[in-house]
Amino acid sequence: MKFFVSGGAGFLGSAVTRSLLQSGHTVLVYDDLSCGCQPPSPHTGLTFVRGDIVNTELLERTLHEFQPEGVIHLAALHFIPACNARPQHTLRINVEGTQAVMLACLRTISVRGVVFASSGAVYGPDDRWHVEDEPFEPTDVYGLSKVLGEQVVRHYTAEGNFGAASLRFANLYGPGETNPHVIPEIVRQVRPGSTLELGRIDTYRDFLYIEDAARCVLAALNLVIREQTYQVFNAASGIEYSIREILQEIEEIVGYPLPVQTAPARVRRVERNHLRLDRTRLTETLQIGAGVPLQEGLRQTLQAAGVPVDAVALATSEEAG
C-alpha cells in the first residue's frame, strides 16, 4: 500500500515511516524540516517532499500525483512553551495545516483512511482518568489547537469517502526527539557530577515509548481503512510517573546521583498535577497491549544519546528480565 506521512521526518513520523517501510509499503514523507529534523535517509519505496503544511496547492498536487490509500497527519507544533509564545502561529500550523491536509484528502480519490495526531492536552486539568467521550477542556493554545484539529478531521471525514481516527497521545519519549521536552532535556544534561536544571518534578505524566506510539498509529489506520468510520483513541501506556520517579529510574540506569535545581524559565504558569489517559478503548478495539517498560525505554534513549549506562545495573536488569 501507499502512505502519505506529513511531519514524516519528525520524532513520531520517523518511527511510523520506518515501520511502514519495514513492512514493504511505499511512503511519501512531507515535511518542512522546521523543527531541527533531517530529511529521511534514502530508502527503496521512500519519496521525500519538502513543503509547508499550509501550502494547499503543493499538498493537493503531491497527494494527487502520489495517490495514497492512507494519510497520517503528524505535522504540528507541539512544544507547549513555544506554542504559548506564538499562539497565532500555532493555530495556523496546527489548525489551518490540518484543514489543508483534509481538503487535499477530499480531492484525492485513492484515500481510504486518515490518522490525526491529537493530544491528551484536549482534556481538563483534573486528576481523574480521562475517557474519550468526555467534553473538551484545554488549558493552553496547544490543547485548543488539537481540539480544533480534531473537529476539522471529523468534519471532513463526514464529507469524504474515507475513515479517520484522532489519537490523543500521552507524552512520547525515546531516541531521536528534537524538542526539549522533559525526558530529552534530562538526557541532554545527564553526566557525572552535574546538577540538572529542570522545572517542577512533582507532576505526573503518562510516558509512551515512541515505537509503541507508532504501533498505535498503524493499528488505528488499519481499523479506519477497514471500517470507514471516525474513531477517537487515547494513545497511552496507562501508567503515570512523576518526573522525580523518572529521575530515580535514570539514576539506577547510569549508576550515579542526579541532583536537581529549579530553573524558573522551565516552570510553566499553568501546570497540571496529573494527566491520566484511560486506555481501555485502545486495548479493546485496537488490541494494543503493554509496550516497552519505562526503564527499558529510558535505557535505550540514554544509549542512543551516547550516555554510558552502569554495567552492573544493566546486568542486573537483564538478569531480572
DSSP symbols for 19-39: HHHHTT-EEEEEE--TTS--P
- Grid cell 488549558 in the structure block, residue: 139
CATH number at residue 300: 3.90.25.10
Place of cell 501506556: 237
The pLDDT, as a whole number, for residue 18 is 97
CA distance 123 to 132: 9
- Asked if residue 103 belongs to a domain, the reply is yes
* Beta carbons within 8 Å of 292's beta carbon, 6+ residues apart: 209, 211, 212, 300
User: Per the domain annotation, does 256 fall within a domain?
Assistant: yes
**In which element (H, E) is residue 312 found?**
helix 311-320
Claim to verify: residue 192 and residue 209 sit in the same structural domain: no
Coil, strand or helix: which one is 243? helix
- Strand-pairing partners, residue 115, are 72, 165
Beta strands in 213-273 (DSSP E): 230-235, 240-242, 260-262
pTM for this entry: 0.93
Q: Which helix (H) or strand (E) holds 224?
A: helix 210-227
**One domain, residues 54 and 154:** yes
- Verify that 34 and 116 share a domain, yes or no: yes
d(CA 204, CA 281): 22
Residue range(s) defining the domain that contains residue 72: 2-174+205-235
Contacts of 262 (CB under 8 A, 6+ apart): 197, 198, 199, 200
Residues 79 and 113 in one domain: yes
122 and 135 inside one domain? yes
249 and 135 in a common domain:
no
b/e map 252-286, b = 16+ CB within 10 Å? bbbeeebebeeeeeeeeeeebebbbbbbebbeeeb
Q: Structurally, how many domains does the chain consist of?
A: 2
- Residue 238 φ/ψ, nearest 5 degrees: 85, 10
Residues 97 and 44 in one domain: yes
pLDDT for position 77: 95
CB burial string 83-110: b at 16+ within 10 A, e below: beeeeeebbebbbbbbbbbbbbbbebeb
What is the four-CA torsion angle of 172, 174, 178, 184, rounded to 10 degrees? 90
How high is the pLDDT of residue 321? 52
Q: What pLDDT shows up at residue 246? A: 96
Is the domain of 210 the same as that of 129?
yes
Same-domain status, 190 and 302: yes
Q: Which residue has the cell 531480572?
A: 320
pLDDT of the chain, 321 residues: tens digit per residue: 999 999 999 999 999 999 999 999 999 999 999 887 889 999 999 999 999 999 999 999 999 999 999 999 999 999 988 999 999 999 999 999 999 999 999 999 999 999 999 999 999 998 899 999 999 999 999 999 999 999 999 999 999 999 999 999 999 999 988 788 899 999 999 999 999 999 888 999 999 999 999 999 999 999 999 999 999 999 999 999 999 999 999 999 999 999 999 888 777 776 788 899 999 999 999 999 989 999 999 999 999 999 998 765 545 555 555
Residue 217's CATH number? 3.40.50.720
Q: Is residue 152 part of a domain?
A: yes
Quick one: which of 171, 258, 179, 178 has its CA closest to 210?
Answer: 171
Q: Where are the beta strands (DSSP E) in the chain?
A: 2-6, 26-31, 46-50, 70-73, 113-119, 129-130, 163-169, 171-173, 196-198, 204-209, 230-235, 240-242, 260-262, 276-277
Residue 115 shares a structural domain with residue 264: no
Rounded to whole angstroms, how far apart are CA atoms 228 and 89? 32
DSSP codes, 40-102:
PPP-TTEEEEE--TT-HHHHHHHHHHH--SEEEE------HHHHHHSHHHHHIIIIIHHHHHH
Classify 197 as helix, strand or coil. strand
Are both 109 and 257 inside the same structural domain? no
Q: Does residue 218 lie in a domain region?
A: yes
Domain shared by 67 and 146, yes or no:
yes
At residue 216, the pLDDT reads 98
